[in-house]
Structure 1
Amino acid sequence: MAGENSVALEGAEVRARIARAKKIVVKIGSSSLTGDDFWIQPDRIDAFVDALQARMGRGSDVLVVSSGAVAAGMAPLGMKARPQDLANKQATAAVGQVFLANEWGRSFARYDKVIGQVLLTAADAGNRTRARNAQRTIDRLRQMGVVPIINENDTVVTGEINFGDNDRLAAIVAHLTSADALILLSDVDGLYDKNPTDPTARFIAEVKDGNDLADVVAGDGGRVGTGGMASKVSAARLASRSGIPVLLTSAANIAEAVGEARVGTVFHPKSSRLTAWKFWALYAADVSGTIRVDEGAMKAVTAGGNSLLAVGITDFSGEFHPGDIVEIHGPKGQMIGRGEVNYDSHTLAGMLGRHSGDLPADQQRPVVHADYLSNYASRA
């Protein structure tokens, strides 16, 4: 693969920004931590820690998002393939998480560093109070000189609600902790427009916007992981949309990745960073219901940046209360945004299609105020 030698100076400014970032999130995939026999590889973890310690020695804070709990539990339990049913997956993760944390702790102890384990679920990120608590915990660990090792809590997560091999989790953590850069490491040296084993595959050194991904065909996960390149591209775009520069490369390149960042693929950050609320509402919040709107309301919300009024609402589903997050759909069922609703579903039922002036005084506020509405059109 020619990716490492093709970087040149493409995205040089973004690479320099990653190289000098004071707070970075580094995500390491399952396949980078375990061998063909599914046992954790101490020498690999030592190599990661050596590189991360070198970066910390230059004054950066490092947060590690480590996959591998399920993979690490397979060998001790004598498994030859990743479990598929939820009960076995959770039990395997319970075993593997102990092995994984012990190895990270052992390796960082070589530098007199203490680690702290933080296990999260999508539900934690989806609840504002729990998300803030997680943020405070991670920040406090950093202040105490502890290296946070963050992972999805596979022992309690459901099959329907998860982060996707921690790629999305890493992006959410990066935003949650106001990180200056995100580095995603896997077994591929960067992004290609097709499977990199194909001799015609073209290496993509930088992604400025969605147009650079038009011809990209990204694959799924491997034997021990669940993410794959599609998951990593999605996570990279999520983080870059919130104003965080992203570097995507192989775990073998970790020294260069946390060094001058002149390897892999960089994703340019948007110039304006989403507020914490808008990021949470768009990408992490639990949704309590769906509101459907007509063509006029859709244009007002997406193009005009206006509040959502009752007159433009045609229907809704779900049970929600004031302060809940609802998804907003256009007249053809397309998702156009999310927002914090001001009324419960019972009250809204009597407001549909009515002008504000025709409603009682206590129902004349917008259904979703523009300040608490995020539209998907702005994510491109």
Structure 2
Amino acid sequence: MRGMSDTTDASDMSDEPTVFEYPASLEFGTDAVHQPGPVIPATSKEFPDPEVGEDSPAYGHRSDVRQTIRNAKRVVVKIGSSSLTDETGLVSPDRIDVIADALEARMDRDTDVIVVSSGAVACGMGPLGLAQKPTDLATKQAAAAAGQVLLAQEWARSFARYGRSIGQVLLTASDAARRDRARNAQRTIDRLRQLRAVPIVNENDTVATSEMRFGDNDRLASLVSHLTYADALVLLSDVAGLYDRNPAEPDARFIAEVKSSKDLRGVVAGDGGRLGTGGMAAKVSAARLASRAGIPVLLTSTENIGAALDQAMVGTCFWPREDRLSAWKFWVLYAADSAGTLHLDAGAAAAMERHNSLLAVGLVQVDGAFTSGEVLDIVGPDGELIGRGEVNYDSATLEGMVGKSTTDLPDFAQRPVIHADYMATYSNRQSRVYGATS
């Protein structure tokens, strides 16, 4: 190499780039890589026919909430990995075209549509020669890096048939955990809609760590619905709706309406499949999470997307909670990052459930290093997460206040540890599952 002597030690050349040599057996142009489909201009805007017939238990349902979904002006639609890829794991242009057709038909009704698209890891598996869903973080992120490009390319191609652009929005749990980042994401999505582009939202798997992930895109869709003030959420899977057990079993019962947790008693839901991470259990949890924000949810299969977006008479409908959470409380409970944990005695936990402020006398233990104003987890005497709130003291000060009565504290420490106005409690155990983001 120019400028180096013949006696240069090999260790001094560690920064030299490695030259890749193609194997002799490689035949260019024969490997199974993604090939973009053609852009063929669409001639009409119509909803695709549903997979289920009128005799199916998943079809023909009516309710006031379904009417609300039908008339919603802003809809979030979540699409799973298996709906976007073929049997080999490659992106399927035909499947994406059917989905885009239904979305465009709904937008033709003057409805804003926001897409939450899974599939980045699954779409990267085929081009990278991965036969099975990767389990280690590095390979997952590599597959996501390869697949996200192909996925966005196909979404852009498909909507180009209607002369419409897309915008890709990649989020991590830490983005939702910080209010300034969450607001920025909200403004980006709103501006894309104003410019007649379709926001395509996905978790940023290339940088998200296993400790800071949404967990599945069903939950991400619920948070996006809340973030964008959506009027309805449509969760699409590979099943026509919710059954009380595996629909392959002959005595499985279809559940058309979920008005409260009573309608879910005895329901057995499974986990994710070969390509995805969110099974029916994740979808039910995400639907209930959205309902806490006052958002109605329709759950059905991707093959029924036309019927879901047209008349909303197919699938399972989750009714919104009447005691919907405020925007701040929803963010604190389900999106905000926790900086520490407060452990309470039984009396303080009961007082908190009655919406009273949290006082130092009820503290048993303080975990973490935090400053005043940060969000903390609140744990009851049995170790169960019961709520969250913004703390009034830093961790060093609070550790010296544990268990002390207000009258025994100096004047500067006589405020509540967390005021009732800045505290939110979980209403049920299922909500607590999605409480922590880390």
- Alignment partner of 1:328 out of 378, 387, 411: 378
Counterpart residue number, 1:277: 328
Distance 1:2 1:323, change over 3 A: farther
Distance, in Å, in 2 between the alignment partners of 1:3 and 1:355 is 66
| Number of aligned residues | 379
Counterpart residue number, 1:96: 147
Q: Cα offset for 1:353?
A: 1.6
Distance 1:342 1:324, change over 3 A: same
What secondary structure sits across from 2:300 in the alignment?
strand
For 1:15, the aligned partner's letter is: R
Give TM-score scaled by structure 1 length: 0.96
Pair 1:344 & 2:394 matched: yes
Contact 1:164 1:231 in 2 (8 A): no
Distance, in Å, in 2 between the alignment partners of 1:8 and 1:168 is 25
1:174-185 paired onto structure 2 within 5 Å = 174-185=225-236
Q: Cα offset for 1:272?
A: 3.5
Q: Cα offset for 1:357?
A: 2.6
Pair 1:81 & 2:135 matched: no
Distance 1:272 1:377, change over 3 A: closer
For 2:418, the aligned partner's letter is: V
For 1:260, the aligned partner's letter is: Q
- Alignment partner of 1:222 out of 273, 276, 281: 273
For 2:209, the aligned partner's letter is: T
1:191-340 paired onto structure 2 within 5 Å = 191-302=242-353, 304-340=354-390
Contact 2:271 2:282 in 1 (8 A): yes
- Alignment partner of 2:417 out of 356, 367, 376: 367
Q: Cα offset for 1:377?
A: 2.7
Contact 2:74 2:232 in 1 (8 A): yes
Q: Cα offset for 1:6?
A: 2.4
Which has a greater percent of strand?
Answer: 1
Distance 1:29 1:4, change over 3 A: farther
Q: Which moved more, 1:324-333 or 1:51-60?
A: 324-333
Q: Cα offset for 1:10?
A: 5.3
Contact 1:329 1:336 in 2 (8 A): yes
For 1:164, the aligned partner's letter is: G
Counterpart residue number, 2:88: 37
For 2:392, the aligned partner's letter is: N
What secondary structure sits across from 2:422 in the alignment?
strand
Distance, in Å, in 2 between the alignment partners of 1:274 and 1:187 is 30
Q: CA RMSD in A?
A: 1.6
Distance, in Å, in 2 between the alignment partners of 1:140 and 1:130 is 15
For 2:69, the aligned partner's letter is: I
Contact 1:82 1:224 in 2 (8 A): yes
What secondary structure sits across from 2:421 in the alignment?
strand
Distance, in Å, in 2 between the alignment partners of 1:346 and 1:94 is 42
Counterpart residue number, 1:171: 222
Q: Which moved more, 1:99-108 or 1:322-331?
A: 322-331
**Aligned residues: percent identity?**
63
Distance, in Å, in 1 between the alignment partners of 2:91 and 2:428 is 41
Q: Which has the larger radius of gyration?
A: 2
Q: Cα offset for 1:5?
A: 2.6
Q: Which moved more, 1:5-14 or 1:150-159?
A: 5-14
For 1:356, the aligned partner's letter is: T
What secondary structure sits across from 1:78 in the alignment?
coil
Q: Deviations over 1:146-191 (max 9, x none)?
A: 1100001010111233223300000000000000000000100001
For 2:211, the aligned partner's letter is: E
For 1:78, the aligned partner's letter is: G
Distance 1:48 1:9, change over 3 A: closer
Contact 2:299 2:317 in 1 (8 A): yes
Pair 1:62 & 2:152 matched: no
Q: Cα offset for 1:77?
A: 1.3
Q: Cα offset for 1:8?
A: 6.6
Which structure 2 residue ranges, 5 or more long, are not aligned?
1-51, 432-438
Counterpart residue number, 1:358: 408
Pair 1:161 & 2:238 matched: no
What secondary structure sits across from 2:235 in the alignment?
strand
Contact 2:85 2:122 in 1 (8 A): yes
1:128-167 paired onto structure 2 within 5 Å = 128-167=179-218
Q: Cα offset for 1:4?
A: 7.3
Give TM-score scaled by structure 2 length: 0.84
Distance, in Å, in 2 between the alignment partners of 1:199 and 1:163 is 35
Distance, in Å, in 2 between the alignment partners of 1:237 and 1:11 is 20
Contact 1:3 1:190 in 2 (8 A): no
Contact 2:62 2:313 in 1 (8 A): no
